[in-house]
Structure 1
Amino acid sequence: MGRTLGRVVAGVVGLVLLVLVALLVSWVWPPSAAQQRALAALQAPHDLPGSNAYVTLATLEMQAPLVHRQAQVDEHTRRFQAWYDDSYAPGFIRGDAESEAGVPPPLPVDGAARTPTADPALCGFRDAATCLERVRRAPEAVAAALATRATLLSRMDELAAHGHYRSPLVQAPPGPWPVLGPLAVPLGAHALAHVQGDSARALAGLCRDAGSGRMLMAHGDNLLATMMGIAMLRANAELFAAVLAELPADAPLPSGCATAFAPLSADEAVVCNGMRGEFAMQQRFALLMDRKIEAGPRSGRLLYNGRKTLARQAEALAWPCLPAARQAVAEDRRVPLPSLPAAAWWQPQCLTNAIGCILSEIAGPAYTGYLYREQDAAAQLRLLQAVLWMRGQALQDAEAVSAHLRELPAGLRSAHRPITLSADGTALETPAYARQGQVLRMPLPLAASSP
C-alpha cells in the first residue's frame, strides 16, 4: 500500500514538474526566425517625404486660416492624449472602457462627430468612370451641390503641397480618423469643368488630386489613409482617361500629369506603411492587455503574453514589407498570401498565450486583400500610360490598336497580365488581382476606338 501511494505521489510530482517545465519553456520561447524578420520589417525606421497633410485633412471644411486650424489641431491632440491617459487606458485595464459611465473621447477637430452624407448629385470614387454621364444629365444640380462645398474645393491645392500623412494622435483603437470621404467631391467639379468646356482646368485638377491620392497611398501612416489614397488615385485616373478620350489627340496635358500618373515603383505599390500603422495599434493594444493581465488574477498571465502575440501578429502583417512581396510587385505577379503556422494550444508559443494565439488567428485573414488593391492601382496606371502612349500613334482601327499594343514600351508590359483591347474596341484592359475574374479598363481616345 505504501509503495503504491509513493508511486502515485511520485507520478503526480513528476507530472507537476513536467507541466512546470513545459510552461517555463513556453514562457521563454523566442520568436521564430520568420517572426523576427517580420518584427524587424515593421519596426524599421523610415522617413516620410515632405510636410504632413494631417492638419489639412482634419480641417478640410473648416473656414479658418491655416494658423488657426493648426492651433485647433494642436489643442485637439492635447485633449485627446489627456483623455486617453486619464480615461481610456485605465478604463480598459479595469474593464469598464465600454461602460455607459465612461467619458467619451473629444469630438473631432471641427467640433462635429458626424459622417457627412454623400450628395447624390456628385460622383463618388466608385463611379468615377461614369462621372461625365452623371454630370451631363444634371449639370445644374452638380453646380448647386458644389457651391456648398467651396471650402473643401479650395483646400485641394493645400493638400497637394504635402508629402505624407501622419496622425499626431496616439495609435489606439478609439483614435478618431479624419473624415476622408469628402475627398471624392472634387471629381464632380472636374467633370463639370470639362462638360462646360474648360477641359484644361479639369485635367489640371484631376492630375493634382491624383497626386494627393498617390501621396496618401504610398506615404500614409495607417491602412485607412492607404486605402483612401488608392481609391482617390484610381478614381482621378479613371475620370482623367474619360476626359482625355473626348479630346483631340494633340490636346496639351498639364505638367503635373506626368508625375501624378507615372508608373508606381515597387515601394509605392505595397501597403507596407499602412501595415506599420496597424502594427503600431497592435503594440498599443498589447501594452494595455499586459497591464490588464498584471492588474488581474495571476492565472491570467498563463493565458496572454503581449510579446508572443505581437510576434504572431507581425508575421501576419509584415508580408508586404518583405523582399519577396516587393519582388512580386515589381514583376506584376499576384503576391502569394503568407502561409502562417496554425495556432494550437499545446505549441510552445501558445501554451502560455492562448488568448493571443486566438486573437492573431482571427485577425490575420482580414489583411490579405489590401496589397492586391494596390497592385491593381499600379496596373491601372500602367493602362493609363498605355493610353497616353497610344495618343502619339496612328490608330485608325482596332487592328492598328492591337498592332501597337504588341509594340508597347518595356515598362508598360507585363508577362503576368498583359494589356489587351476590349471586345468592343473602346478600351484597354488587364486582369484584376483584387477581384479575380474581373478586368481593369481605361477608355481609348474616341478617334482610336471608332470603327
Structure 2
Amino acid sequence: MVPLLLLGGFQLLRWHAMGPAQREALRWMQPLPPREGENAFKWLALANYQVSPGQVDAAMAEEISHFQDWNRRMELAAVSTRRPDFRPYPFAAKEKYGARPPPAYGALECMRDVNASCLDTVRGKVGPVRALLEQEAGRLEMMDRALSADHLSNLFPRSAPVDSLQFNGMGLVTLRAALAGADGRVGESLELACRQMATLRRFRADTDVATAHFGLTVNIQRAGKLVLDLRRAHPAQPLPPACTEALRPVEAEDYILCNAMRDRNALFEHYYQLAARMYPSKPRIDRWLHEWFGIYEPLRKAWHAQQFSAYCGQAAVDDMEAGRTPANRDLITPGQLACYAAPASCHEQSRRQIPEQEALRALDAYASLRLLLAAHRLAEGGQTPHEAWLALRLPGYPVAEDADGKRWSIAQRALDGQQFEVDISGLGDTANAGASR
C-alpha cells in the first residue's frame, strides 16, 4: 500500500508541476502551418551562386535534398563516434553552379558603415557605382525577386541551423536607389528605397529565420537613411505610396523573436534527442528508474519551451517597450517542490539561459528604427527635435545630440556601445536642438 501511495503522490506532483505557465509555453512553441505565397528564402539562399532565376526552384529542391542527406550522415557519425561535428553546411550549388564573387563594394563607405550617407557616397562615385550595378545585374535580379516575395520562411528542415541567407547583395538595391537620386530621378529613388525598406520591415516582423535578423536590420537602416537624405535634399518632392508602409509607426510586436525562437526550440529539441542516441544505454533497470523518476518528458519539454516562449505574447511586448530583455519567468529551479517531479530534467533546465545576445540585438534594432522614424517626423514638419525624439524614445537608450544639434545617436547594447547615428540637419525646426539628454 505504501509504494502505491508514494507512486500516486509522485504522479500528483507531476500533475501539479505542469501548470498554466508550462502549458502556455508548449502552446507557443507549436509549429506554425506552412506559409502560402512566394518565399524570399530561396532567392536569398542562392544569391551568391551562379543560378539563373529560371533555375532557382529546381536548385532549391536539390539543395534541400542534399542537406537532408548531409545532415543524416553527420548525425550517424556523431552517434557512432560520440563527437558531434558542427561544421557549417556546404551548399551543393557552389559545386554545381559556381559561386559569385562578393560584390566589389570597395571604397563605398556606406556599405561598410551604416552611419555613412549612401546618397553622398554615390554622388562622389557615380561612375564606379553604375559599373558595379551593371556587373552585378544577376545578383541584383535575385534581390529584386526576394523583395517581390510574400514572406521569408525557413525552407530547410528544422533539424539543424543553416546560416545560409545572403544579404550582401541587398546593398546593391540601396545603391541603385541612391544612384537614381544622384541622377536627379528623385521620385524613382524614393520609390525604390521605400519599397526596399517596407518589404524588409515586413520580413523582419514575422520571419522564423533567426540568422536573418541582423542582415534585415542593417538594410532597413540603410534604406531608411537614404529616404531621409532624399527628403532633406528635396523637401518639396511628394512621397510615393510605398513610403506609407516603409515609414509606418514601429510596433514592438515587429521585434519580439517569437517565430525565430519557435524554430530554435525545435532545434534544441532535436539536439536533445541526438544526444540521447550518442551515449550508451544504461542497464535496463537503471534506465527505467532514471526515465521514470528523473526525466518526465512532458515536463522536460515544457520547462525547455518556457525559455523560448519568453519571446512571445504580451509579456515580450512589454519587455521590448520597457527596453529590457525577456525575463526567465516561472522557470523551474532546483529547490522548488515541482523540481522533484523530474529532478534530472529540472537540473538540466536550470543550466540553460535565454540567449541574451539575440534579445539585445533585437532591442538595438527596435531602438534604432524608433530613432530613425523620429527623424522622419522632423522631416514632416511641425515638431522640434526634442518633441520628435521624446515621442519615440526607448528606455535604456538615451539619445545624445552632437554639439551642433545636427546628429542624434544611441549606444547599441549588443555591440558594446557602438553608436547608431542619424543626421537631423535641415529637417524641420532644428534650431532648438540642445545638448545631450
Shorter chain as denominator, the TM-score bin is 0.7 to 0.9
**CA distance in 1: counterparts of 2:317 and 2:307, whole angstroms:** 16
Structure 1 residue matching 2:159: 3-state secondary structure? coil
**CA distance in 1: counterparts of 2:163 and 2:275, whole angstroms:** 21
User: One-letter code of the match for 2:327?
Assistant: P
Q: Which residue of 2 aligns with 1:82?
A: 69
**Structure 2 residue runs without a partner (length 5+):** 1-5, 432-437
* Identity across matched positions, percent: 19
Displacement, 1:321? 0.6
**CA distance in 2: counterparts of 1:190 and 1:137, whole angstroms:** 15
Could you tell me whether the CA contact under 8 Å between 1:42 and 1:321 is conserved in 2?
no
**1:108-147 alignment to 2 at 5 Å?**
108-111=92-95, 116=102, 119-122=105-108, 123-124=110-111, 126-147=113-134
Could you tell me whether the CA contact under 8 Å between 1:345 and 1:354 is conserved in 2?
no
Q: Which residue of 2 aligns with 1:4?
A: none
Displacement, 1:153? 1.7
Q: Which residue of 1 aligns with 2:326?
A: 337
Q: 2:41 aligns with which of 46, 51, 54?
A: 54
Pair 1:444-2:436 in alignment: no
- Are the structure 2 counterparts of residues 104 and 442 from structure 1 closer, same or farther at C-alpha, using a change threshold of 3 Å? closer
Could you tell me whether the CA contact under 8 Å between 1:350 and 1:357 is conserved in 2?
no
**CA distance in 2: counterparts of 1:153 and 1:128, whole angstroms:** 23
Q: Which residue of 2 aligns with 1:39?
A: 26
Could you tell me whether the CA contact under 8 Å between 2:319 and 2:326 is conserved in 1?
no
Q: Which residue of 2 aligns with 1:71?
A: 58
- Are the structure 2 counterparts of residues 69 and 50 from structure 1 closer, same or farther at C-alpha, using a change threshold of 3 Å? closer
If the length of structure 2 is used for normalisation, what is the TM-score?
Answer: 0.77
- Are the structure 2 counterparts of residues 103 and 207 from structure 1 closer, same or farther at C-alpha, using a change threshold of 3 Å? closer
- Are the structure 2 counterparts of residues 115 and 288 from structure 1 closer, same or farther at C-alpha, using a change threshold of 3 Å? farther
Could you tell me whether the CA contact under 8 Å between 1:191 and 1:202 is conserved in 2?
yes
Q: Which residue of 2 aligns with 1:269?
A: 255
Could you tell me whether the CA contact under 8 Å between 2:40 and 2:153 is conserved in 1?
yes
User: One-letter code of the match for 1:372?
Assistant: L
Could you tell me whether the CA contact under 8 Å between 2:325 and 2:356 is conserved in 1?
no
Pair 1:351-2:343 in alignment: yes
User: One-letter code of the match for 2:157?
Assistant: V
Give CA deviations for 1:248-293 in whole Å, capped at 9, x if unaligned.
3211222211112211334323221121221121122223233335
Could you tell me whether the CA contact under 8 Å between 2:296 and 2:342 is conserved in 1?
no
Q: Which residue of 2 aligns with 1:360?
A: 352
Displacement, 1:338? 0.5
**Structure 1 residue runs without a partner (length 5+):** 1-18, 394-400
Pair 1:319-2:310 in alignment: yes
**1:397-412 alignment to 2 at 5 Å?**
402=384, 406=387
Root-mean-square deviation (Å): 4.4
If the length of structure 1 is used for normalisation, what is the TM-score?
Answer: 0.74
Q: 1:290 aligns with which of 249, 252, 276?
A: 276
- Are the structure 2 counterparts of residues 371 and 144 from structure 1 closer, same or farther at C-alpha, using a change threshold of 3 Å? same
User: One-letter code of the match for 1:109?
Assistant: A
Equivalences, count:
417
Displacement, 1:70? 0.5
Q: Which residue of 2 aligns with 1:373?
A: 364
**CA distance in 1: counterparts of 2:342 and 2:104, whole angstroms:** 46
Q: Which residue of 1 aligns with 2:3?
A: none
User: One-letter code of the match for 1:224?
Assistant: T
**CA distance in 2: counterparts of 1:158 and 1:255, whole angstroms:** 20
Q: Which residue of 2 aligns with 1:204?
A: 191
Could you tell me whether the CA contact under 8 Å between 2:225 and 2:422 is conserved in 1?
yes
Mean CA deviation greater in 265-274 or 249-258? 265-274
**CA distance in 1: counterparts of 2:344 and 2:13, whole angstroms:** 6
**CA distance in 1: counterparts of 2:77 and 2:297, whole angstroms:** 19
- Are the structure 2 counterparts of residues 61 and 366 from structure 1 closer, same or farther at C-alpha, using a change threshold of 3 Å? closer
Could you tell me whether the CA contact under 8 Å between 1:51 and 1:163 is conserved in 2?
yes
**CA distance in 1: counterparts of 2:100 and 2:9, whole angstroms:** 52
Structure 1 residue matching 2:422: 3-state secondary structure? strand
User: One-letter code of the match for 2:78?
Assistant: F
Give CA deviations for 1:177-235 in whole Å, capped at 9, x if unaligned.
23233323333333333334333333222112212321331121121123322222122
Pair 1:170-2:154 in alignment: no
**CA distance in 1: counterparts of 2:217 and 2:394, whole angstroms:** 24
Q: Which residue of 2 aligns with 1:424?
A: 404
Pair 1:235-2:222 in alignment: yes
Displacement, 1:318? 1.6
Q: Which structure has the bigger radius of gyration?
A: 1
- Are the structure 2 counterparts of residues 269 and 121 from structure 1 closer, same or farther at C-alpha, using a change threshold of 3 Å? same
User: One-letter code of the match for 2:181?
Assistant: H
Displacement, 1:436? 9.2
Give CA deviations for 1:349-389 in whole Å, capped at 9, x if unaligned.
6732378336524x644443143134225413531441342
User: One-letter code of the match for 1:334?
Assistant: G
Could you tell me whether the CA contact under 8 Å between 2:49 and 2:99 is conserved in 1?
no
Could you tell me whether the CA contact under 8 Å between 1:263 and 1:381 is conserved in 2?
no
**CA distance in 1: counterparts of 2:185 and 2:327, whole angstroms:** 48
Give CA deviations for 1:27-79 in whole Å, capped at 9, x if unaligned.
99844543332222222646746421122112225555534210111121122
Could you tell me whether the CA contact under 8 Å between 1:270 and 1:326 is conserved in 2?
yes
- Are the structure 2 counterparts of residues 205 and 226 from structure 1 closer, same or farther at C-alpha, using a change threshold of 3 Å? same
Could you tell me whether the CA contact under 8 Å between 1:121 and 1:141 is conserved in 2?
no
- Are the structure 2 counterparts of residues 45 and 166 from structure 1 closer, same or farther at C-alpha, using a change threshold of 3 Å? closer
Displacement, 1:124? 2.6
